Structure 1
Amino acid sequence: MKNFFLFICILLSNQIDAQTISLKKEWESTKQLPVTESVVYRTDKKELYVSLIDGEGNVKDGKGGVAILNLDGTIKNATWVTGLNAPKGMAAYNGKLYVADLDVVHTIDLKTAKIVETVKVSDAVFLNDIAIDKKGAVYVSDTRTNKIHQITQGKSSVYLDQVTAANGIKFINNELHVLSGFQLLKFDKNKSKTVIAEGLEKSGDGLEPLGNGDFLVTCWAGIIYHIQKDGTKHKLLDVQGKMNTADICYDQWNKMLYVPTFNANSVIAYKVDF
């Protein structure tokens, strides 16, 4: 009898692990936001920061910036920061917002909206996403050169190379997770690589942990996946040809996923149902 109950517990556990999740659309920003690429949720202010390319994604035209949305999708400040080029991935840390902008990383003071530092990344072409480790070191992917750079004390250096189409990056438990083309990779502190999942339909873009070992992953072409910690993939959304799904943000406390739609010029909020 004891073995029978153990079998049932294992079976139920496996069923729970195998369950996927679903997305329920809550709102979409109604005012046009010119080429939304990345979203960051600021918990203390209950605000969303959105990078706006406002032009071509690889051109230094000074048209880009960062807007602020309220949590119902309305615009709080459409011109919080202006004068950038093609800003993409962002990350907040210790009162600062770090923004990847083609070949530089800007540091913006969250209180004043002023750029307090701009670091030129050597040989960078298309800086894309940003992650920050527990010590405050900044990491930025370059999708075109297949590299990940590290920035410390105002200087950049190559942290990893030969990471194909490196895009979305996140530090989780002191390990760097990277969307590399059609794969989700993990690098430990010794830079040893593990393939978590592979076989994405299109090249990966946004990466967010769910907090239970699983991930939400986007492909820029218009796909959102749930990837379980064992590498199993479930497609949650496929809107290819209708809109893009770029560098997402996930609020674990409220189970809300914020999706910048790039050329659809909006941000969409989805409730994540387990």
Structure 2
Amino acid sequence: MKYLSIFLLITISLAANGQHGLKQLWETDKVLPEPESVLITRDFLYVSLVDGQALDKDGKGGIAKVGLNGKILNANWVSGLDGPKGMGLWKDKLYVANITEVDVISTLTGRVESKIPVPGSVGLNDLVIDQHGTVYVSDTENGNVYRLINDKPAVYLANLSHPNGLQAIGDILYVLTASDVFKIDASKNLMSIGKSREGADGLAYTAKGEFITTVYSGLIYYLSNNRKEQLLLDSRAQKKSSADIGYDASKRIVYVPTLFRKSIIAYHLE
């Protein structure tokens, strides 16, 4: 009872000061070959697996399915990809950023139905789909963000500093770069809503309109509306990377792919 009281006091104190924390819920078995991105569905998680060098077209990559309780449902749901990273769902199709193309996979069969080459791309990374079915995909290597309308790609934004994490909320696109978190309206006006850093990776929009960001080396931050940034986790000493996270705003659960640790870790956002 004493320890519970101390925990409650700490929680109340953090809330009163606008501070947040991460409480680990579970970690999968360490059998996922370089998990890079997590996409949440109602019943399970899609996890992209690089399984090799990030930019090598070696056919070793794939997509796994992981239960919301951390149980690995299917470690090889899709195989034969190259360096799959960000993912997005539209109807019964899973769109996957795969180095220089976007692969379209049937969620019903797990088969790659089409591959959309993205001309000029070098290292496609994160991918989101907005409310209209428009696909956005970042290229961290060449500084571009591409837009695919009716599966036809074109450069949407150019000359950004290593763009990676993306979020599409209504008609607003958010882009995490190595220097800033940018808010981009439908007229492509860029506004910085917070600073970032080299190695910036995942970007997740919270229910409060704030953000969780990651640096792949193992840093997780909370970015408030007032541009104030709080370090939530530093797992570099434990060699737990933090790549392209998934965030369930209704349950306040952050799902973190750990790359070379070969697991997904779930945390509750306090």
Question: One fold, TM greater than 0.5?
Answer: yes
* Aligned residue type for 2:32: L
How many residues are treated as equivalent by the alignment? 256
* Aligned residue type for 1:95: D
- Cα deviation for residue 173 of structure 1 reads 2.9
Query: Which residue is 2:180 aligned to?
Result: 183
Task: Give 5+ residue unaligned stretches, structure 1.
Answer: 1-14
- Cα deviation for residue 203 of structure 1 reads 2.7
Query: Which residue is 1:162 aligned to?
Result: 159
Cα distance in structure 2, aligned partners of 1:133 and 1:42: 16
Cα distance in structure 1, aligned partners of 2:174 and 2:16: 21
- Same amino acid, percent of matched pairs: 39
User: Is the contact made by 1:64 and 1:83 (CA closer than 8 Å) also made in structure 2?
Assistant: yes
Q: Please, which of 232, 249, 252 is the counterpart of residue 249 of structure 2?
A: 252
Q: Does 1:113 align with 2:110?
A: yes
Spell out, residue by residue over 1:199-255, the C-alpha distance to the aligned partner (whole angstroms, 9 max, x if none).
x35431100111111111111111000001221100000112412100000011111
* Aligned residue type for 1:34: P
Spell out, residue by residue over 1:93-140, the C-alpha distance to the aligned partner (whole angstroms, 9 max, x if none).
212111000000011111111112210000110000001111101010
Cα distance in structure 2, aligned partners of 1:203 and 1:229: 22
Q: With the length of structure 2 as denominator, give the TM-score of the two structures.
A: 0.92
Cα distance in structure 2, aligned partners of 1:202 and 1:219: 8
Query: Which residue is 2:211 aligned to?
Result: 215
User: Is the contact made by 2:178 and 2:197 (CA closer than 8 Å) also made in structure 1?
Assistant: no
- Structure 1 runs (4+) greater than 6 angstroms displaced: none
Query: Which residue is 1:91 aligned to?
Result: 88
Cα distance in structure 2, aligned partners of 1:163 and 1:94: 30
User: Is the contact made by 1:182 and 1:203 (CA closer than 8 Å) also made in structure 2?
Assistant: no
- Cα deviation for residue 166 of structure 1 reads 0.5
Q: Please, which of 217, 223, 226 is the counterpart of residue 227 of structure 1?
A: 223
Residue 79 of structure 1: SS of its match in structure 2? strand
Q: Does 1:53 align with 2:14?
A: no
RMSD: 1.4
* Aligned residue type for 1:32: V
**Cα gap change, 1:16 to 1:73, in 2 (>3 Å):** closer
Query: Which residue is 1:41 aligned to?
Result: 40
**Cα gap change, 1:17 to 1:174, in 2 (>3 Å):** farther
Q: Please, which of 120, 123, 138 is the counterpart of residue 123 of structure 1?
A: 120
**Cα gap change, 1:204 to 1:144, in 2 (>3 Å):** same
Q: Please, which of 139, 142, 145 is the counterpart of residue 145 of structure 1?
A: 142
Residue 263 of structure 1: SS of its match in structure 2? helix
Query: Which residue is 1:4 aligned to?
Result: none
Query: Which residue is 2:4 aligned to?
Result: none
* Aligned residue type for 1:218: T
Moved more, 95-104 or 237-246: 237-246
- Cα deviation for residue 153 of structure 1 reads 1.9
Spell out, residue by residue over 1:20-44, the C-alpha distance to the aligned partner (whole angstroms, 9 max, x if none).
211100000114100000001111x
Q: With the length of structure 1 as denominator, give the TM-score of the two structures.
A: 0.90
Cα distance in structure 2, aligned partners of 1:167 and 1:184: 10
- Cα deviation for residue 85 of structure 1 reads 0.3
User: Is the contact made by 1:168 and 1:178 (CA closer than 8 Å) also made in structure 2?
Assistant: yes
Spell out, residue by residue over 1:185-209, the C-alpha distance to the aligned partner (whole angstroms, 9 max, x if none).
11111111100001x3543110011
- Cα deviation for residue 17 of structure 1 reads 8.5
Query: Which residue is 2:26 aligned to?
Result: 27
Q: Does 1:271 align with 2:257?
A: no
